[in-house]
Amino acid sequence: MGMFHVKQKRPKGRTKPYADRGISRVPCLRCGKPSSWQWRCCALGGKYFGMCDDCDVKLNGLLMRFFGIDKSVIKRYKKKMKGDKHGKSKDH
Ligand SMILES: [Zn+2]
């Protein structure tokens, strides 16, 4: 069961960080959309991978849960990210 039957693709990534302007040409590691962020993954040789806005928000949500950080912090963060993306951000 489990791990041994899962075919993992081995994404290439880069050993050096992507330039800010170049990151949009890099497909998101998770969904293939143009990336806005990069993420350094230790489990994949410490390489850099692209990540789009949506997946970045999701990953942050996962990490927050992993670290046991309060849900309200995640909520606020997601709200903020959504606001920024659509240019409707409101200052509290
Ligand atoms: Zn994505």
54 in a structural domain:
yes
Q: Please check whether residue 6 lies inside any domain of the structure.
A: no
pTM, full prediction: 0.71
Q: Give the amino acid at 90.
A: K
Ligand 1 mean position, distance from CA 46 (Å): 19
Q: What is the pLDDT of residues 12-67, one digit of tens each?
A: 888 999 988 899 999 999 999 999 999 998 888 999 999 999 999 999 999 999 99
- Residue 25's domain comprises 20-82
What pLDDT sits at residue 12? 82
Residue 9 lies in a domain: no
Structural domain includes residue 27 = yes
Identify whether 29 is part of a domain: yes
Asked if residue 35 is part of any domain, the answer here is yes
Which of 21, 5, 4, 23 lies closest to 13 in space, CA to CA?
Answer: 23
| Residue 90 placed within a domain | no
Residue 92 has pLDDT above 60, yes or no: no
What spacing in Å lies between the alpha carbon of 20 and ligand 1's midpoint?
17
pLDDT at position 3 is: 47
Considering the domain boundaries, does residue 3 fall inside one? no
E strand intervals along the chain: 37-41, 47-51
Tally of domains in the chain: 1
Q: Is the model's pLDDT at 11 over the cut of 50?
A: yes
Q: How far, in Å, from the CA of 56 to the mean position of ligand 1? A: 7
